[in-house]
Structure 1
């Protein structure tokens, strides 16, 4: 079965940059599909099976899942049980800005890059808080979009906070101090624009060891991590400066414009020019 593709342009209000809805039954959900946006869903009643990226996961009340762009998934009944859940969808840019706010490169990278979308089981009080905010997003989307936009970011901040505080991955706990210090250094423009050569200069570890550590703790490669930092910087330049796209690509550390276009569109779901026009 080919996955349907759900588009942010068709589903998300551009002024709010998020939307909220309730699925009262699996019978009403979309079959196998993927999105070009982020989605947070929370099971509010019942239980079901969530088929995600080729695996099947049992879910019950309180389960919160972060669905990333291009995750492929669908919902199925668990025995004779049905379930109800809320969905809050966000533009890619909104999620990326939230990651910067938390300033936690390890957890942010984990949320984006692991094979299975991150999930946790929330206590009832936290579920009630998020459901109430979701309902207010829906209400103010029709009444006052600026308030809906603020509420959507408040929902996202709470959801990420719950996840950050409840993430108990042992690899993250055991992350070596030198890697933590290295990641902080890589946030500086002169370092991430310097690429792999600069990264290896900052660390006295071998290339092979660096690759293994990045894979273990960040679930990515040094190259992909640096490119992520460069792309975020490039996007900020596009939105805040009059620099041409060629100048932006060079300023962010890319020496190949075609490669920059490819990575940018893959990461943000739109070309540099389109992001700037938005």
Structure 2
């Protein structure tokens, strides 16, 4: 399977980004990743989203935040399927993170195996679609001013629909709990599990439990297991190790419990997850040369689909 790596400079007329409408089935079906971030919303119709080895059903109102190395495509679309997306250069996203500060906890967006997504209520979808339409028009007639308007729209979209801190929490996460979270990302610690968490925190079990629930809306066990599951998913994608061995390596004592937690977290079993990932595995020559895939770009995704000022309905990827 051929995977095309798309580059922001190919599509962006402005330094910030642009909005586009995509409905061409051939264009949607091309497996690709980017050197930029992409936010897309399903405006109408249905399809299957193949993303990082997993199949997800897409319906109107579903809003996705796709990272640069996520490999995805849209297959089996309905006749009316359409997405509207915006392309966010990596440099601009870093500026956003610098501006909002550490409390935004960007790893909630960047670290999961599958890209974050939300389903909008009808009123929310209508409001977002109005914003997208404005960006399309602004990009055509306002030129330099549209960059500022794009940044405002991007800030509002991210902070409204992808808030990564509990909405009810008004108290900053204590520094000790931030440190514990970072340390628990290390394999030796999450494999050990709760004993490592308690040791690193240096506080009573009761205090740790209250703090996890208050600031993270998780129990200590959920915190540890979520980290383990993300690690196991990466192993399933990147290695040929037996599932039982991956289960033990991640720190789970029970294979059946691992299967139960994995299915609850990802929606499919570890075996199904690996099967899907194998179907999307990159050939060696692509792994070693993703940056040189520009030669395939015009054939796979015609450059005529890039937003053109003369087009009534601009289209891009």
Superposed pair shares fold, TM > 0.5: yes
Which interval holds the TM-score relative to the shorter structure? 0.5 to 0.7
Could you say which structure has the larger radius of gyration? 2
Give the aligned partner of residue 3 of structure 1.
3
CA distance in 1, matches of 2:163, 2:176: 21
Match runs of 1:129-148 below 5 Å: 129-148=127-146
Give the aligned partner of residue 255 of structure 1.
none
CA distance in 1, matches of 2:198, 2:154: 38
SS in 2 for 1:131: helix
Change (3 A) 1:57 1:24: same
Aligned 8 A contact 2:14 2:147 in 1: no
Match runs of 1:182-197 below 5 Å: 182=179
Matched, 1:50 2:70: no
SS in 1 for 2:45: strand
Give the aligned partner of residue 110 of structure 2.
112
Match runs of 1:65-76 below 5 Å: 65-76=64-75
Give the aligned partner of residue 12 of structure 2.
12
1:92-139 superposed Cα distances (whole Å, 9 cap, x missing partner): 011122223333546411211211000000112222222222222222
Change (3 A) 1:141 1:164: closer
Larger relative contact order (Cα-Cα within 8 Å, sequence gap ≥ 6): 2
Change (3 A) 1:48 1:204: closer
Q: Tell me, which stretches of 5 or more residues in structure 1 are unaligned?
A: 184-202, 222-268, 270-278
Change (3 A) 1:143 1:106: closer
Give the aligned partner of residue 259 of structure 1.
none
Aligned 8 A contact 2:38 2:88 in 1: yes
Q: CA deviation at 1:13?
A: 1.8
Match runs of 1:190-209 below 5 Å: 205-206=199-200
CA distance in 1, matches of 2:129, 2:50: 23
Give the aligned partner of residue 162 of structure 1.
160
Q: CA RMSD in A?
A: 3.8
Give the aligned partner of residue 188 of structure 1.
none
Count of residue correspondences: 195
Change (3 A) 1:216 1:166: closer
1:197-252 superposed Cα distances (whole Å, 9 cap, x missing partner): xxxxxx99549xxxx979957x999xxxxxxxxxxxxxxxxxxxxxxxxxxxxxxx
Aligned 8 A contact 2:37 2:90 in 1: yes
TM-score, scaled to structure 1? 0.59
